[in-house]
Chain A
C-alpha cells in the first residue's frame, strides 16, 4: 500500500516528523538563508547573453552627430522653463513640430489623498507633450517610446535637449519600421502614469486627464532618460519597477552591448561592475549589489518612469547620466549614439521581447541569477512553516485518534467532534478582530486625517502617518479584549488550533507574494518565519514577545531602511533613520493611491492581521 494509506508507514512517518521537527526546521531555515547568500557566487550566477535573435546578429552604425544642437535645445528649454515656472508647452510644441513630429498634448490633474511632503505638492496638475515620428513605410501598428520626465525644476533640461536632437536625427532616416513617440512629462511619474492610462484607455488610479488625440499602436519598448548635465562619466541603469516587476533581461543586455560598443561606462546602482570573479572580492561586491536590488524590488516602488510602463507589459529601462569626479567624460554625442543604437536594434523586433528572463536578480550588470535558481531559498523558508503546521496537527490528534493506535486508551477516547467545533468557534473571534484591525489600518489613516489634524497640532501628512502608527501599536493591546470576548469557551489547547490556522494563513500569503515579487516574499519570510514558528504561550513570554515585535512588518521596514542605507555606504543615525521611516510610510500610502503600488495593502490587510494572530497566540490565557 502507498505511503498515504498504509497505517504502519504513516505512524513511522508521523513519529519521524514529531521527533525530528526542531532540527529539521532549523536546518531548513539555515539552508534557505545560506542558499540566498550563495546566489552571488559563481556556480549560481551566469553571464548574461542576448536571447532574442532579432536583436543579436545585425550590426548597426550610429551616425548621430547632433551634440551642439542638443545643447542649444537644452539651453532654450531651461530658459523658457525658468521664465514660465512650469513646462513650456507652447515652445515644446513649436520645436517638435519644426523637427518634423506630429505633436499632441495632454493635460491631467489629481488631488493627492494627503499632501506629499517629499515633493511638496497636494493638488497636482500639468501637461504632457508628445510627438510621434511616423514610420514612413509601416502601418503604425507598433511603436517605441523615448520619455523624459520633467520635475518641478529644470534638472532634466539636457535630456529634453538630447530628445529633441535625436528626434531631428531620426526624422531624416528611412529605416524605421515602428513609430517612435517622444514624450515629455510634467510632475515626473504622475505625468507618466496619466499618459500611460490615457494611452491604454484605462483608469486605475483615479487620475483625471484629457483623452489622447494621437496614438501610435502597441508600445513594444520604452526608454526613460534623465541627464543632469551635458557631460557624463557613466550611465546608470535602473531596472526595478512598480510592485517589483522587472523588464525583460534582453533589454538590459541590449543597453549594455551598446555601452560597451561606444566605450561608455555603465553602472548598476551607481557602482562599477567588478571585473574579477575568480577571487572573493567580485562575488562579495556582487552580494552587496544583490542585496540592494532585493531591498529595492521588495519596496515595490517604481524607481523611475520605466517602472510604470512595466505594468502594461511594455519593457522599459531608466537611464541616468552620472557626472562624478572621474577624469574621462563623455558628451551628449556619445549618449545619443548609444540611444540611437538601442532604438535601431529595437526597431528590428518582430514580436514583443519574450525570449529572455522576466524574473531574475542582478549581482552585477553582466551577471544574473534566474528564477529556477533562487526560488529554492524561499521554498526552504516556507518548509519550516509547513513542518510546524504538520507537527501541530499531529499533536492535536494524538489524543483522539481512532482504534488503530496500539494498546488503545483505557476508556473510549473522546470523540473529536466536540473539541473540533469548540476550537473552530473560538477561532472566529480572533480571526475577525485581526482582519478588522487590518482593515482599520488600511482605511482609517487617510479617511480620518482631517479629524486628526483638527484635534492635534499636526499637518495632514503627519496626521496620516501618526494615525497609522497609533492603530498599529493599538493592535498590540488586542489580546486582552479578545480574551474577554471568548474567555469562557477557550479550551486549553485552543491556542494550537489558532496557531495552526495562522501558520497556514502565513504560508499561503508568503507563497502568493513570493510568486509575483520574490524579494518581498523572501524578506518577509526571512524575518517572520522564526518568530511565527517559535511563538507559544508557554515558556519565556517576554522573550517571544520581543522576538515577535522585532519581526513585525513595521519593524522589518525600519530595519530594511537602515540596512539599505548601510549598503549604499551612506549610513544614517537613529534619528535620521526614524525620519526616513516616517517618510517611507507616507510615500508608501501615497504610491498606493497614485500608482496602485501593492505593498501597503499587502502589509495592512494581509500580513499585519496574520502577525496579530501570532500575537494572540502568544498571549493566550
Chain B
C-alpha cells in the first residue's frame, strides 16, 4: 500500500524535477492559463524583494499574497522548487489517506444499510465491493500528481499549489474526525483565498454525521458542536488574519443545501468545483484539485450521460487556449474576445460535467432505494425526470 504510493510520488517528483531543469520552465511560468495575478511566482519574488528593501510589499497593488506566504518564502526562497514539489507530494499523500478512510466509512455505511434492508432487492450490481474500492486512493493520488495541469502549476511555481495542500489537509482532518485540526486548516485555506469559506458547511455536516449527532434545530448537541467548531474556525481565522487585503468579493454560489445533508463529501467536491469555475482569476491548478476526485466517483460512470462530448469540449478548449493566445498577442489578428470565448466554453464544459455528476449521483441513490429496473404503471419502461 505504501510502496505504490511511494513509487507514484517518486515518478511525479522526477517529472517535475526534469521539467524544472529544462528550458520549458520559464515558458510555462508565463502562460496565462497556469498563473494568474493572484498566484504567480514572479509576484512573490517581487513582494520579497520589496520586503528586503524595507518597503511594504502591498504598496503598488502588485502583490496579492498573504504575509504568512511571504515569511514562509523569506526563509525558503533558495529551495523554492523543492518546496513546490513537496507541497504537491503532501497534497497527494493527504488525499490518499483521506480517501482511504472515506472508503472505509462508505463501505461501513453501505453494509449497515444492506443489513437494514434499505435497498431494493435487485440492485446487486450497484453495490460496491471492497475489491474495487481498494485501488481508489492510489488512483486519486495518481490523478492528482500526474495530471498535466498539476505538473504545469508546479513547474510554474504557482502558489495555488499551497492552497491545494491546505484544502487537502482540511479534507484529511475532517474525514479523520479531528474538529480542531480541521478548523485550523480551513482557516488557513480561507485566509489564503476567500473561497474555501464555503467548505465550512460541508465540513461541519460531516463532523456532525461522524459523531452521529442529528442535524435538527432542537438538538442541543448539534448547537453545542456547531458553536465549538465555528468558534475554533473563527478563532483561528482571527488569529491568522493580518493586514493583507482581499482583492475579491466572494461569489457565494452555494447550491441547494438540502439535497446533500447525507453526502457532505460529495457536496464538498461540488463546492470545490464551483469555486474553481466561478473564481475571478481561475487557473488550471484549481481544476486539477477537483479532477483528482473523479476516481472516487468511478461507480457513477454508467449514469453519466454526456461524458464523451464534455471530455472532448474540455480537451479542445485546453488546446485552443495557447493557439488563440498566440493569434491575439503574436499574430495580431484575433482579439481578447476569442480568448474570452474559449474561457467561457471551458467553463460551460466544466459546469455541464459537474451537473452530469450531480445527476448521476442522485440517480444512483434513487436506484439503490427503488430498484434498478423500473416500470411505470402500464408496464412500459419508466423514465427518471429531474425536478
Q: Taking the complex as formed, is B79 at the interface, i.e. its CB lies under 8 A from any CB of chain A?
A: no
Contact A359 to B333, CB < 8 A, known contacts A8-B383, A512-B319, A515-B327: yes
Considering only residues 197-213 of chain B, those with a C-beta below 8 Å from chain A are none
A358 proximal to B (CB < 8 A): yes
**Residue total for B at the interface (Cβ-Cβ under 8 A):** 34
Q: Which residues of B lie under 8 Å from residue A406 when comparing CB positions? A: 381
Contact, CB under 8 Å: A4 / B306: yes
Contacts known (A512-B319, A516-B326); A404 close to B125, Cβ less than 8 A: no
B303 CB to closest chain A CB (Å) equals: 6
B256 interface hit (Cβ, 8 Å): no
A313 to B330, CA, bound (A): 7
| CA distance in complex: A400, B132 (Å) | 18
- Report the bound CA distance from A358 to B373 in whole Å: 59
* Contact of A358 with B331 in the complex, beta carbons under 8 Å: yes
Contact of A515 among B125, B324, B374 (CB under 8 A): B324
- Report the separation of the CA atoms of residues A416 and B326 in the bound assembly, to the nearest whole angstrom: 40
Answer whether residue A493 sits at the interface, using C-beta atoms and an 8 A cutoff.
Answer: no
Interface centre among A245, A352, A402 (most CB of B within 10 A): A402
* Known A354-B332, A516-B327: A511·B372 in contact at CB below 8 Å: no
Asked if A508 lies at the interface with its beta carbon under 8 angstroms from chain B, I say yes
User: Per-residue CB proximity of B308-334 to A under 8 Å, as 1/0?
Assistant: 110010011001100110110011110
CA distance A390 to B308 in the complex (A): 8
B1 contacts chain A at the CB level, 8 A cutoff: no
Measured between beta carbons, the chain A residues less than 8 angstroms from B308 are 390, 393
Closest approach, in angstroms, between the C-beta of A118 and any C-beta of chain B? 29
The interface residues of chain B lying within 8 Å CB-to-CB of A7 are 383
Tell me the residues in window 240-299 of chain A with beta carbons closer than 8 Å to chain B beta carbons: 245
Distance in angstroms between the alpha carbons of A358 and B333 in the assembled complex: 6
- In the complex, whether A376 has a CB less than 8 A from a CB of chain B is no
Question: Is the C-beta of A372 less than 8 angstroms from some C-beta in chain B?
Answer: no
Mark each residue of chain A from 345 to 360: 1 if its CB lies under 8 Å from any CB of chain B, else 0: 0000000101000110
The interface residues of chain A lying within 8 Å CB-to-CB of B327 are 515-516
Contact of A313 among B302, B332, B352, B372 (CB under 8 A): B332
Q: Distance in Å from the Cβ of B369 to the closest Cβ of chain A?
A: 15
Whether B302 lies near A415 (C-beta < 8 A) is yes
Contact A10 B332 (CB under 8 A): no
Interchain CB contact under 8 A, A417 and B298: yes
CA distance A389 to B313 in the complex (A): 13
User: Hey, which chain A residues are within 8 Å of B326, CB to CB?
Assistant: 516
Asked whether A515 and B359 contact (CB < 8 A) given A358-B333, A417-B301, the answer is no
Contact with A along B273-317 (1 / 0, CB 8 A): 000000000000000000000000010011101101100100110
CB distance from A203 to the nearest CB of B (A): 13
User: What is the bound-complex CA distance between A515 and B309, given in angstroms?
Assistant: 21
Asked if A358 and B332 make an inter-chain contact with CB atoms under 8 angstroms apart, the answer reads: yes
Q: Decide if A408 is an interface residue (CB 8 Å cutoff).
A: yes
A137 to B385, CA, bound (A): 75
In the complex, the answer to whether A5 meets B359 with C-beta atoms within 8 Å is: yes
Q: Give the distance in Å from the alpha carbon of A416 to the alpha carbon of B301 in the complex.
A: 8
Task: Please tell me if the beta carbons of B305 and A4 are within 8 angstroms of each other in the complex.
Answer: yes
Of the listed residues B331, B385, B386, the one surrounded by the most CB atoms of chain A closer than 10 A to its CB is B331
Judge if A1 is at the interface, Cβ distance under 8 Å: yes
Contact A511 B298 (CB under 8 A): no
State which of B305, B312, B320 has its C-beta within 8 Å of the C-beta of A512: B320
User: Which A residues touch B332, using CB under 8 A?
Assistant: 313, 352, 354, 358
Chain B residues lying within 8 Å of A358, measured Cβ to Cβ, are 331-333
- Smallest CB separation, B15 vs chain A (Å): 15
Complex interface: chain B residues within 8 A of A515 (CB): 320, 323-324, 327
Minimum Cβ distance to chain A for residue B23 (Å): 12
A403 within 8 A of B: yes
Residue-wise interface mask of A (47-59) relative to B, using a CB-CB cutoff of 8 A (1 in contact, 0 not):
0000000000000
Residue A504 CB within 8 A of the other chain: yes
Residues in B with CB closer than 8 Å to A416 are 301-302
| Most chain A CB neighbours (cut-off 10 Å) among B306, B333, B352, B359 | B333
CB pair A511 B316 closer than 8 Å: yes
> Known: A402-B303, A415-B302, A416-B302. Contact between A516 and B323, CB under 8 A?
yes
Q: Report the nearest A residue to B323, measured CB to CB.
A: A512
> Quick check: is A412 within 8 A (CB to CB) of the other chain?
yes
Q: C-beta contact mask, A402-432 vs B, less than 8 Å → 1, else 0?
A: 1110101000100111001000000000000
A537 to B302, CA, bound (A): 28
Nearest B residue (CB) for A406:
B381
CB neighbours of A8 from chain B (8 A) = 383
Distance of A415 Cα from B372 Cα, bound (Å): 14
- Residue of A313, A403, A420 most packed against chain B (CB within 10 A): A403
- Give B residues with C-beta under 8 Å from A: 124-125, 132, 298, 301-303, 305-306, 308-309, 312, 315-316, 319-320, 323-324, 326-327, 330-333, 352, 359, 367, 372-374, 381, 383, 385-386
The 10 closest A-B pairs by CB, nearest first: A358-B333, A393-B308, A402-B302, A313-B332, A512-B323, A412-B125, A508-B319, A515-B323, A4-B306, A403-B372
User: Chain A: residues with CB nearer than 8 A to chain B?
Assistant: 1, 4-5, 7-8, 10, 245, 311, 313, 352, 354, 358-359, 389-390, 393, 400, 402-404, 406, 408, 412, 415-417, 420, 504, 508, 511-512, 515-516
**Seed contacts A1-B386, A358-B331, A400-B302; 4 additional CB < 8 Å A-B pairs:** A4-B305, A5-B386, A313-B330, A313-B331
